[in-house]
Amino acid sequence: MSTKGTRGESRLNGVAPARLKHEQVEAALLAHIASGDARRGATLPSEAQIMRDFQVSRNTVRRAIRGLVRQGVLTSLAGYGHVVRSNGVRPVIGVLYGHAMFSPELVPSYHLQIEAIRRELVQRNCTMWFYATRLGQGEHERDRQQLQRDVRRGLLTGLVALSWPDCERDGRAIVRRDLELMKLFESVKLPYTAISSLAVPAAVAADYGAAGYLGARHFLEQGIRDVALMTYEVPNTLFPKHTIDGYRKALAEFGVPFQERYLLRAGPEPESSGYYGFKQWWPKSGEPSALVVDDDTLCKGMMIAAMEMGIDIPRRLPIAALAIKGSRTFFPRPYVRLEHDPEKIAHELVNRLLGMIERPGVVPPPLLIAPSVIPT
């Protein structure tokens, strides 16, 4: 068996699972079985031989083998040794996520989305290795280095990233380091994809343009012509532009002229920007009859401000706001949800990644998923 390896490095930081020696041996044995060198019914080399190949202890070999037995890949038979039961090897998927995951109360959509991805990978019988990183972000340098080592050693089958850095938004140094990682993935032909950034192969993203369009259209169909839009604006990003384009498209379809005064561009901090931005923007006269908001935390800040100002929602100001299914950000007051389903996004994302693993070289185009309009 030509699976001779090197000694692994231990790491246990309480966030990402450690890449211990037995995990590296387990991954190499999986690759050996998947390659067809050890077919169903074949017997693995003795524990002593595996110890010599990998230069590890007997305990390390036994832990690796126990992991394969739990997965149903091997079975241990007295007098025969360790027999290959199935070469349907579980893919090892690296899941990359950012610091916002540690503040789910601030960005609930990230927490809900990562949970949906985890459930989807479990259902698809995948092994998951988590990396607390936004790739180029300095505070997660150790995870980034671990990711590089794991990729170079061939321990990962594919990668999926949540909140992948945006080359149009992040600084040059971060972008340069992220591009280096992307080149590394591509140099070893490692399939990878992500949520949000359409620059990543086979990416899946929430369709903000559809949110602006569907939210405005919901009110226009009711005969409301003075519909306003509130969006938070992060410098150099495309998401506000997409939302505004969708909003303007709906107005044009109903013959309603676009009015700049009905467009509120809040700052980059959603909740506080929603609160202060709304208070400064709300017109003294000619106020809108409906409002579309393209972020749940932005809407939370805006609703607090409206409540303090005595604006009755929804009788005086009905709201259609973008949110993620399962989010409890809003007050329990009536509004229209433009709802993204994290389970649907996760299913599409994982399905595309596994498809690229099964069919190397076949990369589907990016996919935008429109929200559902759910009156409440």
Average of per-residue pLDDT values in the chain: 80
Q: pLDDT for 93-116, tens place per residue?
A: 998 876 544 444 445 677 788 889
Nearest Cα neighbor of 227 from 286, 289, 306 is 289
Rounded to whole angstroms, the Cα distance separating 127 from 17 reads: 11
In angstroms, what CA-CA distances link 352 with 159, 162, 204, 324, 327? 11, 15, 9, 21, 25
Do residues 6 and 55 make contact, with C-beta atoms less than 8 angstroms apart? Answer: yes
The SS3 call for residue 105 is: coil
Cβ atoms within 10 A of the Cβ of 85, count?
Answer: 17
Report whether pLDDT(13) > 50: no
Rounded to whole angstroms, the Cα distance separating 308 from 303 reads: 9
Q: What is the model's pLDDT at position 36?
A: 65
Query: First CA to last CA across the chain, in angstroms?
Result: 62
Nearest Cα neighbor of 322 from 166, 213, 233 is 213
Residue that wins the pLDDT comparison between 132 and 13: 132
Q: How many CA atoms lie within 13 A of 57 on its CB side?
A: 5
Domains present along the chain, CATH in parentheses:
21-84 (1.10.10.10), 92-201+343-369 (3.40.50.2300), 206-339 (3.40.50.2300)
Q: pLDDT for 213-247, tens place per residue?
A: 999 999 999 999 999 999 987 654 556 788 999 99
The SS3 call for residue 95 is: strand
Q: Amino acid identity, residue 70?
A: R
Exposed/middle/buried for residue 316 (C-beta within 10 Å: 0-12, 13-18, 19+):
exposed
Rounded to whole angstroms, the Cα distance separating 37 from 217 reads: 59
0.95 surpassed by pTM: no
Nearest Cα neighbor of 339 from 374, 365, 292 is 374
